[in-house]
Amino acid sequence: MALLIKNGTIVTAGEQYVGDIYCESETITRIGRNLEAPPNATVVDATGKYVFPGFIDTHVHVYLPFMGTFAKDDYITASKAALVGGTTTLIEMVCQGRNSSPLKDGFQFWMEQAIGKSACDFTFHQSVTRFDAQVEAELKEIVQAGVSSFKVFLAYKGAFGITDEELYHTLRLAKQLGVIVTAHCENEELVLQLQKKLLSEGKIGPEWHYWSRPPRVEAEGVHHLMTFAELTGAHTYIVHTSCKEALDEAMAARARGVNVWVETLIQYLVLDKSYAELPNFEGAKYVMSPPLRDKSNQEVFWNALRQRMVSTVATDHAPFDFKGQKEMGRDDFTKIPNGIPSLEDRVNLLYTYGVLEGKIDLQTFVDVASTQAAKLFGLFPRKGTIAPGSDADLVVYDPNYRGTISAKTHHINLDYNAFEGWEIKGRPSVVTVRGEVAVRDGQFVGTLGRGQFIKREPTHF
């Protein structure tokens, strides 16, 4: 199929100019002015609009068993929501429990959840929730199959968390294979003991979740990981970094030569801990780990994005209904399924409350929401930029659109939206996946099951 996008303001991480983009056989083949297309081509007039590379979410959960329940999305609802929001590639965590079946079975199971359902492209971080000789052999097979990133948890003791010995051997293997290790950094023992203390004092509401994992707990987790990364030489990526204390630990390690990159989430840039303190258990909608922080952290992270101290803005999309799921923790905040739904709204929130408020420029916007993700995780230049030979994943973005976020109109399979009633100024008007139009004016018009598993080569030796 042929596609021509005409007269748009093309924006990449390093450039901005007006031009036409011609695509065929799923890739961008020409960029110029006054390009012609064959009679059967799809033509999109992008006059007065931006054209961005398809956005990449480095951290999502679609299939997720957690705290005795399961996330509500599947790849049908999640991929539709992602595309409507301008995200054309998902990187999901394969999250097996510590005592579950062999890792390669889990990898295959997660793959089966996506193949034949997803409308957007996808790949995975392989979680390592234990380590032994069998796991090492299986990890090598999974890397050969096209996964070039691992995920470790320094939290969730007894469920996902690994021991220091296992952490050492995982990082050692990752260095050997050229794999980057993404990490959830919170000190699991401190979390457990603080939870016990708070509950013993009758502090059971969602507002107490924050105090079971305050900033220093996250910072200690980062410090711990950085020590192991320094001594193994492994390349590491800290997921969902939420507070200045944790960021400072990462930057101190980077200054002494540790290979570390930092991710934050859209919710940490626009929400604060007061949301988790809302009355009548409404705060449970905003319970996540690490928790929402004091508002003062927002400017810290906007500044860190401008300076590229923080490389990516993701979502950690974890969709659990308020009714029946978040309510599991009404009498015990430790039983509230963690997570917030933000897959569909990330790009629009980042543009509205970042670009339009002068906190980041358009090039930074593209860099942190697409290009750096592609470079760090072995997708560039196939993804993350607009150039001949790149996949024709394109977002024609209408800066004149005005709308309101609502659970009544979102595409995720959830009974609430964490940003209910928020205004957005701009949205994708056309989104393409490898040259096929998948979204027009906020409506999914693509093909379910067309999404491909994107194989990635290790690049972090």
**Residues 334-343: pLDDT tens digits?**
999 999 999 9
pLDDT reading at 100 higher than 80: no
pLDDT reading at 195 higher than 80: yes
The strand pairing partners of 125, in sequence order, are: 93
Q: Which CATH architecture has domain 55-376?
A: Alpha-Beta Barrel (3.20)
Q: Determine whether domain 2-52+386-401+425-444 maps to CATH 2.30.40.10.
A: yes
State what percent of residues in the chain have pLDDT above 90. 95
Exposure class string for 319-357: b at 16+ Cβ within 10 A, else e: bbbeeebbbbbeeebbebbbbbbbbbbbbbbbbbbbbee
2-52+386-401+425-444 and 55-376 agree in CATH topology: no
How far is residue 226's CA from residue 64's CA, in Å, rounded to a whole number? Answer: 27
What pLDDT shows up at residue 200?
98
Burial (0-12, 13-18, 19+ Cβ within 10 Å), 36: exposed
**Residues 150-161: pLDDT tens digits?**
999 999 988 899
Residues 110-125 have a mean pLDDT of 98
Residues 76-91 have a mean pLDDT of 98
**Residues 288-312: pLDDT tens digits?**
999 999 999 999 999 999 999 999 9
The strand pairing partners of 394, in sequence order, are: 53, 432
DSSP per position, 365-404: HHIIIIIHHHHHTT-TTTSSS-STTSB--EEEEEEEEEEE
State what percent of residues in the chain have pLDDT above 70. 100
| Domain range summary for the chain, segments of one domain joined by + | 2-52+386-401+425-444, 55-376
Confidence bin at 278 (pLDDT 50/70/90): very high
